[in-house]
Every structure is written in C-alpha cells, then in structure tokens.
Amino acid sequence: DAGITQSPRYKITETGRQVTLMCHQTWSHSYMFWYRQDLGHGLRLIYYSAAADITDKGEVPDGYVVSRSKTENFPLTLESATRSQTSVYFCASSVVLFYEQYFGPGTRLTVT
C-alpha cells in the first residue's frame, strides 16, 4: 500500500533552472494539492486539482506551474527557480475537497 509518494526527496538546484517535483498517489483520490512549508509560515497552499486537467491556484501560486494529465500524478514545476523557493514541498490528496488530506513524505528543495 504505497499511498502517496514524492520524488525526489531531496533536490539542490541553481537559481534560474527549471525543476519538477513529482507526486504520485495510489488511492484514486480526486483531489490533489501542493503545499510549501517554511518556518514561521506553516503550510501554504500553492495549487490544487479536482481531477485530470482541472487545476486551481492556492495562496502562493506565483513562480509555479502544475499539470494533471492522469488522476494519479500531479507534478509541480518551478520554471525558473529562485532562492525564495527554497522550502519543503508536500503533496497531498483527498476524496473530498478540503476535507481530510493525506500527505506525502515531502521534497526538500534548496535553490542556490
């Protein structure tokens, strides 16, 4: 029972590079979410998706792009990484929008 997985778990990249964080869930949950977690800010919603090809902005979407061609995958792309995007990124999924969410193990991204 894999649940929700994220890859890579750790990533170091340089300013200006494009980087994609992967998220995969095996539960067939309709909804998927991307959060970033920073000291002092807690969890902040970047983007979410209700189904394949349906995405919506969260609280802090600038600098990020998402896609969802398949229900089980929800990649997050930083098109041109900046140091302010250094953070821990969590993917989550749920059956109902904004009810119980189940989180992946996170990706720690460092932008140098």
Partner 1 sequence: GQQLNQSPQSMFIQEGEDVSMNCTSSSIFNTWLWYKQDPGEGPVLLIALYKAGELTSNGRLTAQFGITRKDSFLNISASIPSDVGIYFCAGSYHTGANSKLTFGKGITLSVRP
Given the rule CB under 8 A, which residues bind partner 1? 40-43, 45, 90, 92, 97-106
Task: List alpha helices for 1-112, DSSP H.
Answer: none
> Closest distance between partner 1 and the C-beta of residue 44, in Å?
8
CA atoms within 13 A of residue 6's CA, in its CB half-sphere? 24
We find the least distance from the C-beta atom of residue 7 to partner 1, in angstroms, to be 13
Residue 99 CB, nearest approach to partner 1 (Å): 6
Residue number with CB closer to partner 1 (38 or 79) = 38
CB atoms inside a 10 Å sphere around CB 48 = 25
CB of 15 to partner 1, least distance (A): 25
Whether 68 and 91 have beta carbons less than 8 Å apart is answered as: no
Q: How many CB atoms lie within 10 A of CB 54?
A: 11
Nearer to partner 1, 15 or 54 (CB): 54
Q: What is the Cα–Cα distance from 26 to 100, expressed in whole angstroms?
A: 16
65 or 102: CB nearest partner 1: 102
> Closest CB to partner 1 among 85 and 101?
101
